[in-house]
Amino acid sequence: MSGHQNYTLNVNGTEHPVKDAWIGESLLYVLRERLGLPGSKGACEQGECGSCTVVIDGSAVCSCLVMAATAVDSQIATIEGLAEDGTLTDVQEAFITEGAVQCGFCTPGLVMAVHHLLESNDNPDEMTVKEALSGNICRCTGYGRIFAAVDAVIAQRQAGK
C-alpha cells in the first residue's frame, strides 16, 4: 500500500515512534496493533459505543474516529496509563467491587469516561453522570452497577475532602 509515514505519538507521557505506517490508520488501530496498547477496544467504528474512549489534550474522544497521524502533537491518555504503578485508581477499584464489570469489553472506555467526568466535576448529580456516560454502551449490566460504582467513587472523594 502507498501512503506510509513515520511519526511519533505521545501516549501516557511516553513518546512512541510509529514507523512506516499507512496514513489511513485510526488512532485506535495504531494504539492496539502498532504500539502494543490493546486496552482500548473497538466495537462499532463509528463513535457510537465509547469502547475506544481515550483522552486527548483533556477531551474524551472515540479513538476509532481520530486519524492517528493527526494526533502527533497531542497528549494521549489511555486506559493503560491509569494504573501504571500497579495501583488501581478509585474508579477501577469501584468497578470491581460494585459489580460494574461483566464481559468487560466496555469497561476500559467507561473507566476513562468516568475519570474524565470526575476530573471536571467532583460531585456530579445523577443526571449529569447518566448524560456523561450515555456515549458508552454496555450490553451486559444494564448500567445499574456502573452507576453504583460511580456513586461509590463520588462518596469516597467527598468523604476524603
Question: Cβ contacts of residue 18 below 8 Å, gap of 6+?
Answer: 5, 6, 7, 8, 9, 30, 34, 35, 68
* Cα–Cα separations (whole angstroms), residue 15 to 10, 77, 81, 115: 4, 12, 13, 23
- Segment near other proteins (CB under 8 A); pick from 5-13, 32-40, 67-75, 116-124: 32-40
Is residue 58 close enough to count as binding other proteins by CB under 8 A? Answer: no
Residues binding other proteins: number (CB under 8 A): 60
Distance CA 16, CA 111 (A): 23
- What is the closest distance, in whole angstroms, from the C-beta atom of residue 27 to other proteins in the complex? 15
Applying CB under 8 A, which of residues 38, 56, 75, 151 lies at the interface with other proteins? 38
Applying CB under 8 A, which of residues 15, 20, 46, 160 lies at the interface with other proteins? 46
User: Of 116-155, which residues contact other proteins (CB under 8 A)?
Assistant: 127, 129-131, 133-147
Quick check: 76 and 55 in contact, CB under 8 A? yes
Distance CA 41, CA 124 (A): 26
Q: Are strands 14-22 and 75-77 parallel, antiparallel or unpaired?
A: unpaired
Applying CB under 8 A, which of residues 96, 119, 122, 158 lies at the interface with other proteins? 96
H or E segment and range at residue 2: none
Chain residues binding other proteins by CB under 8 A are 1, 22, 24-25, 29, 32-33, 37-46, 48-49, 51, 78-80, 82-83, 88, 92-93, 95-97, 99, 101-108, 111, 127, 129-131, 133-147
